[in-house]
C-alpha cells in the first residue's frame, strides 16, 4: 500500500513538473518575444496576460510609452546584444528591451550595424533600424519617445 502511494505521489509530481516545464516563465517568454523567437501563440499569450493585468513584473509607469506598457524585470533580460531590466511593449505586436544610452543615435547605429539592420526612418533625430527575419518577425533598434535618452532593442511581429 505504501509503495503504491509513493508511486502515485511520484507520478503526480512528475506530471505537474512536465506541465510547468512545458510553459516558459514570463521572463523567458518576454525574452523570446524580444529576440524574435516567439510564435504567434506566444505573442497572443503575452497579450492576454497584459490585458488581464497578470504580468508578474513590476509595472513601470515612468517608462511606459503612449499606448503601451513597461515593466521592471529582475534579473535583467538579455536579447540582441543588450541587457536591460526594463521590458517595454510599445503595442500589441512589439516587444523591446530599453537599453540605457546617453548617445542614442550613435549607439543605435553601432548596434544596428552589429545586427545587420538597415535604417528605415531618420526624422528629426528619431531613428528606426530594421531587418525582417525568415519567421516574418522584424528585428529592430528604435528611438524611444525621448530621442535624447536610451533606445529600444527588440522585435515587432506581423499583425494577425
Q: Which whole-number Å values give the CA distances from 134 to 31, 77, 122, 155, in the listed order?
A: 19, 24, 25, 13
- Please check whether residue 147 lies inside any domain of the structure: yes
- Please check whether residue 55 lies inside any domain of the structure: yes
pLDDT tens profile 90-134: 999 999 999 999 999 999 999 999 999 999 999 999 999 999 999
At residue 157, what are phi and psi to the nearest 5 degrees?
Answer: -105, 155
Residue, of 82 and 24, whose pLDDT is higher: 82
- Please state, rounded to an integer, the average pLDDT across all residues of the chain: 89
- Please check whether residue 60 lies inside any domain of the structure: yes
- Structural domain boundaries, residue 144: 26-156
- Structure confidence at residue 98 (pLDDT): 98
- Please check whether residue 118 lies inside any domain of the structure: yes
* Number of domains forming the structure of the chain: 1
pLDDT bin (cut points 50, 70, 90) of residue 86 is very high
- Please check whether residue 14 lies inside any domain of the structure: no
- Please check whether residue 116 lies inside any domain of the structure: yes
- Please check whether residue 79 lies inside any domain of the structure: yes
- Please check whether residue 98 lies inside any domain of the structure: yes
Q: Is residue 88 within 8 Å of residue 65, measured between CB atoms?
A: yes
- Structure confidence at residue 22 (pLDDT): 60
CA distance 74 to 97: 13
- Structure confidence at residue 4 (pLDDT): 44
pLDDT tens profile 14-34: 444 434 446 789 999 999 999
For residue 58, pLDDT beyond 70: yes
Q: Mapping DSSP to helix (H, G, I), strand (E, B) and coil, where does residue 46 land?
A: helix
CA distance 26 to 32: 10
Amino acid at each position: 500500500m505504501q509503495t503504491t502511494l509513493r508511486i502515485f505521489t511520484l507520478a503526480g509530481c512528475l506530471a505537474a513538473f512536465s506541465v510547468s516545464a512545458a510553459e516558459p516563465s514570463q521572463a523567458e517568454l518576454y525574452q523570446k518575444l524580444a529576440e524574435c523567437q516567439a510564435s504567434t501563440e506566444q505573442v497572443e499569450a503575452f497579450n492576454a496576460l497584459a490585458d488581464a493585468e497578470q504580468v508578474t513584473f513590476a509595472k513601470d509607469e515612468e517608462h511606459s510609452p503612449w499606448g503601451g506598457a513597461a515593466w521592471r524585470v529582475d534579473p535583467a533580460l538579455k536579447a540582441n546584444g543588450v541587457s536591460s531590466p526594463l521590458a517595454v511593449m510599445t503595442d500589441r505586436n512589439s516587444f523591446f528591451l530599453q537599453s540605457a544610452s546617453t548617445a542614442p543615435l550613435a549607439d543605435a547605429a553601432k548596434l544596428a550595424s552589429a545586427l545587420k539592420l538597415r535604417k528605415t526612418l531618420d526624422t528629426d533625430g528619431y531613428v528606426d533600424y530594421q531587418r525582417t527575419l525568415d519567421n516574418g518577425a522584424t528585428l529592430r533598434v528604435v528611438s524611444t519617445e525621448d530621442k535624447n535618452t536610451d533606445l529600444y532593442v527588440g522585435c515587432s511581429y506581423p499583425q494577425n
